[in-house]
Structure 1
Amino acid sequence: MTVPVPLDRAERRPVLRAAIGIGLYAAAFGASFGAVSVSSGLSLGQTMVLSLVMFSGASQFAFAGVAAAGGSPFAAAAAALLLGVRNGFYGLPLAEILQPRGWRRLGTAHLVIDETTAMAVGQPTRPLQRYAFWTTGIILCVLWQVGTLIGSLAGAAIDPATFGLDAAAPAVYLALLWPRLAGAAQRWVAVAGAGLALVLVPLVPQGVPVIAAASVAVLAGLLPRRTRTPEP
């Protein structure tokens, strides 16, 4: 049986600082969602339940957007599910890192989102990966609910486009992803995925470009890697 190695304060400090910074962004982004949700016709209670149960910013905005356009609840749920499919891909590396058992799988799966995945896989050691996942997940979940409540109470007084909150999510995720693009292969996969998504945006429904871009990374991961003979 392997005894977990405790992390010292110097190892935890930068991870905690980054998690708090992302959490503050989540609060602001959650406020924009709360404002958009209530202006779309959802009540305060419905908005809070959606934010707590779904806990996925892009999917929640898709749900509220379809509802605002007069779509049925089934259409709104389908759009949200389409954008949430990517979280299933995140579960593959995180299952190996976290190794949840029993009922813990439910709580773990609920926190599998873009930010927690990027924070976890970006750490050098397994204990630090687990600390980054749980710290980021808990902070984001709490501050996301707080932000949603504030935005819901403020209602239409908050315009996400005016404050630039509509661009906050991709900007933060790009900042988390950038350090991982250390090799040429990773950069080519990122460029190919982004290019495919840009081409599909005007041609297919919302959410499909995200899935298509993710499929590029999946296909790249399935391709055999060329082995290089080490030099003496």
Structure 2
Amino acid sequence: MNRVYLRLEILRIFRSPQFAVFTIVVPLGMFLLFGSMFGDETGPDGVKTGVTTMINMAAYGSMSGALFTGTRVATDRTDGWQRQLRLTPMRGPGYLAVKIASAMAMALPVVLVVFAAGALRGAQLSAGQWLLTGLALWLGALPFAVLGLLLGLYGKGDTVGAMTGALMLPLGVFGGLWMPLAFLPQWMSTVAHFLPTYWLGRLAALPVGHGGGFALAAGVLAAWLVLPALVVVRRFRLDPGKVA
């Protein structure tokens, strides 16, 4: 992986106002809103609803940050930047690795910000629970980074942002991150079990809950990682404007 290009890519992201608004401000605002709506009662799993809301909104933010890597890939393709990179020693796998690493870099700050807001609002977790939950939210964003790459490789610079936003809404709502599935129709609960956002929330909640299911949650997320990754590799090989 080209570390210089990775550093430039991360700086490019963090200097973008869209990064602050869509990746941090929106999930934080939703956490503050939903946290006040749902209160802080103890749920059936023994976890305070405030903690569950915090985890879900951090999951939504990490997903959003990872998905938005597709906008930069599409812009690179549209502007001819990928062809320019052919003049450098960088090759295709290195380019994809940088994009995934930068997507994971985008997924981390929102988790920390929402966690800080949750702590200020009274969320009480042990040090191990904070660490394991945050790690699950961050690593669980990897499938969404690959999905973002997939959108960027198929979309165009002026449309992939809208495509990403249109995908985030159903993933957040139907995945049970915006509100508990108990509040939604039964068919939406069924749909949720096929979406990676549902399993990201489940995986992140395991360190603070009393239920099991780690293998199932991790397995579903792994499937959502591997299958899109195969499509990304094939699409990238066939893209005439790709890095060599």
Same fold (TM over 0.5): no
Q: Which of the pair has more CA radius of gyration?
A: 1
